[in-house]
A = this chain, B = another copy of it.
Amino acid sequence: MTHKVLLLPGDGIGPEIAAQAARLLKACQEAGLDIDVEEALVGGSAYDVHGEPLPAETLEKAKAASAILLGAVGGPKWDKIEDLSKRPEKGLLGLRKNLGLFGNLRPAMLYPQLASASSLKPELVAGLDIMIVRELTGGIYFGQPRGIEERNGERVGFNTYIYSESEIERIGRVAFEMAQKRGKKLCSVDKANVLEVTILWREVMERLAPEYPDVELSHMYVDNAAMQLVRAPKQFDVVVTGNMFGDILSDAAAMLTGSIGMLPSASLNESGQGMYEPCHGSAPDIAGQNIANPLAMMLSVAMMLRYSLNETAMAERIEAAVGSVLDDGLRTADIASEGMQTIGTDAMGDAVLAA
């Protein structure tokens, strides 16, 4: 069966790094992978053409695809759009919600070749390998009621942080299963000393625990988790948390590695359909200069092959190619260091393809 892959370049550096992913996909096809690649607009670039960040056509194509590869969305150009529902970010959020991509896997691992790029002392991050499992279609990102309105003579802004038991259970199972495949340690992050919604969160995680007797479950308050990530990140194996806390902690964790330009992520739904994207954003300040790091995007292709297309061997080939390019001393500007050769986006793409 021919798999459909939808490529969504998006905004900022998105198109540049997506171009490298497209070349990589072509190479995979030549190596025998049976896929059909389409492209569509999302985010600010879709807004510019269609007046909305998630055109119906894009959503239809996304629904029909086995897997989606997304560059990045957003940029200052669209920050002034008054109507929040038209902002580039809504393209991304709309895809997540409409496809039910509730399970967001955000690995934070340190490439040994890039150990010196971390802002932390090397001994604290050497061998770092954390998997953050973030709930992606609920919580305060989507909770109702929300808005800005007049009350008692002044405006108030409000959002609702809400989770149901079944939403928590669903992401909990993803995290427990992930822990079973890894180091068998799961840390659930909440703020159960203040927020009722996370009291329920903690309760459901506790209830699931006996079904995964080989996994050691612990709980941590989000403020403490932010501290522990800075203090001793290697204490973590798998971390599970809600949408908002996951947004904050996964970015902090990714930055610990000093090479956020290297980190892919996956967002999966119940049927294994997935959207794959780099952890870094659209970096509008460096867009169009051929200096962005395409590796996170190319590693997103590998993650897609593994999780949605079941092509483990091909995924491993890509990951090995990235490793050997790093071994060869090739670096984009974001991960440049003394004695290494700094190259641009295209050249990095060339190098990975050659490897």
Contacts and interface: CB of A to CB of B under 8 A. Distances in A.
Interface of A: 74, 84, 87, 89, 93, 119-121, 124, 140-141, 143, 146-148, 151, 154-166, 191, 193-201, 222-224, 226-227, 229-232, 244-245, 247-252, 254-256, 260, 281
Contacts of A120: 119-121, 230
Contacts of A156: 162-165, 200
A146 to B, nearest CB: 5
A130 to B, nearest CB: 14
Given A120-B121, A223-B247, 12 more contacts: A87-B193, A93-B194, A119-B120, A120-B120, A147-B196, A157-B195, A157-B198, A158-B196, A158-B197, A159-B162, A223-B248, A226-B252
A251 B231 contact: no
Contacts of A154: 164-166
Contacts of A256: 230
Which 6 interchain pairs have the tightest Cβ spacing? Answer: A157-B200, A157-B197, A158-B162, A226-B252, A227-B255, A223-B251
Contact of A148 (B87, B199, B226): B199
A121 B125 CA distance: 12
Contacts of A155: 164-165, 200
A210 B160 CA distance: 32
Nearest to A193: B89
A204 to B, nearest CB: 9
Contacts of A252: 226-227, 229-230, 252
A155 B146 CA distance: 21
A163 to B, nearest CB: 6
A159 B195 contact: yes
Of listed A120, A244, A256, residue having the most chain B CB within 10 A: A244
